[in-house]
């Protein structure tokens, strides 16, 4: 496993590490060294050398600023070290990419990170018509795929597409299409545009009413594509099943706190009426798990809910 060492002026490195772990969970290979506000190049060099001495194997150093003291000290000590790569221009997307793709080279990392800087307002205007919702009535051409959908993950996530879904789950599962099954999102062009912005550019996106998502998937409309099916709440999941959709397992990721909700896990808060819906879903033979990110253990959600 490649070590990743974040180096910066002040608390930036620790801040990026903290934000990273909110999205992907704790990672043993992520380390930090900072140039302290009252420190200097000597303080930083001593801390860097001590940290590097404690690390084994290949190390990717990510500095905040090319030409700054942390970067310059790293270059001075490790320019000729074949076990050490050094890049500058630290950002959360860059560090996520390095963390979830340990085999990526420094050059590939720099190339990919350039796409993470986006003029959001301009991009939103370009993608207002993100996903045209077309009701498919003739499924004959998909007959050979009927009932054979490749659902690589089915998840309840109140935030729909965000860092954990787009940057961690979808990429780790080699997802080819994300399907958001939610009536409100499907009817809102602005929300669809926001979801397209949040989804990886390499992954196709469909934002569909729940009943249409069920029909399209069961009838084989997406062929052999690896599909990540995403719901906002358990009520939509039950409606999907009642509309003829099917799957064996669903993962509950994020359900935020609402007045009257109780905590099942740190990231899952459920209302009393939602508990009833989960019981109905489970009664249909669906296994329900709770797992925030792939690094976390998968637990039996219904056992947790009932205790």
* Averaged pLDDT of the chain: 91
Give Cα 56 distance to the centre of its chain. Answer: 28
Short-list 139, 169, 140, CA closest to 155 = 169
Return the structure tokens found at 199.
Answer: 């989804």
What's the Cα-to-Cα distance from 269 to each of 109, 185, 217, rounded to whole Å? 37, 22, 29
Summarised one tens digit per residue, pLDDT across range 69-110 is 999 999 999 999 999 999 999 999 899 889 888 888 898 888
Q: So what's the pLDDT on residue 129?
A: 45
Q: What is the mean predicted confidence (pLDDT) over 112-129? A: 72
- Asked if 246 and 187 count as a contact pair (C-beta separation under 8 A), the reply is no
Report yes or no: 195 and 205 within 8 Å, Cβ to Cβ: yes
pLDDT of residue 217: 96
Q: Is the pLDDT of residue 113 over 80?
A: no
Active site residue 26: no
* CA 106/CA 119 separation, integer angstroms: 25
Which of these is catalytic: 9, 26, 31, 162? 162
Residue 83 pLDDT: 94
CA dist 228 and 251 (Å) reads: 11
Which of the two residues, 129 and 254, has the higher pLDDT score? 254
Continuous segment of H or E residues that includes residue 100: helix 92-100
Cα 162–chain centre separation: 6
- Assign 137 a pLDDT band (cuts: 50, 70, 90): low
For 181, phi then psi, to 5°, come to: -105, 95
Distance between start and end Cα atoms, the chain? 38
pLDDT above 70 as % of the chain: 95
190 pLDDT above the threshold of 60? yes
Please determine, for residue 39, whether its predicted confidence score (pLDDT) is greater than 90.
yes
Q: Residue 298 is encoded by which pair of tokens?
A: 């998968």
> Residue 116 above 80 pLDDT?
no
- Which residue do the tokens 């690094």 mark? 295
């Amino acid at each position: 496993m490649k070590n990743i060492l974040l180096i910066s002026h002040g608390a930036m490195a620790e801040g990026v590490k903290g934000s990273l772990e909110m999205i992907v969970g704790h990672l043993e290979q992520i380390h930090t060294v900072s140039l302290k506000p009252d420190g200097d190049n000597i303080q930083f060099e001593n801390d860097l050398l001590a940290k590097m001495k404690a690390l084994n194997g290949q190390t990717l150093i990510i500095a905040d600023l090319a030409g700054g003291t942390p970067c310059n000290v790293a270059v001075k000590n490790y320019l000729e070290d074949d076990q050490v790569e050094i890049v500058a221009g630290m950002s959360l997307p860059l560090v996520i990419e390095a963390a979830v793709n340990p085999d990526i080279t420094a050059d590939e990392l720099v190339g990919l990170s350039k796409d993470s800087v986006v003029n959001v307002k301009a991009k939103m205007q370009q993608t207002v018509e993100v996903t045209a919702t077309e009701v498919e009535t003739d499924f004959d051409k998909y007959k050979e795929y009927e009932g054979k959908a490749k659902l690589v993950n089915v998840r309840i996530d109140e935030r729909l597409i965000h860092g954990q879904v787009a940057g961690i789950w979808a990429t780790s599962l080699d997802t080819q299409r994300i399907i958001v099954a939610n009536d409100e999102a499907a009817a809102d062009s602005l929300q669809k545009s926001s979801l397209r912005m949040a989804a990886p550019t390499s992954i196709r996106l469909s934002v569909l009413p729940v009943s249409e998502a069920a029909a399209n998937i069961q009838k084989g409309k997406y062929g052999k594509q690896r599909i990540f099916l995403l719901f906002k709440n358990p009520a939509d999941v039950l409606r999907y099943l009642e509309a003829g959709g099917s799957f064996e397992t669903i993962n509950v990721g994020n359900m935020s706190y609402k007045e009257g909700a109780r905590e099942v896990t740190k990231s899952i808060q459920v209302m009393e009426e939602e508990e009833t819906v989960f019981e109905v879903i489970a009664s249909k033979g669906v296994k329900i798990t709770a797992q925030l990110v792939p690094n976390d253990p998968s637990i039996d959600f219904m056992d947790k809910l009932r205790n």
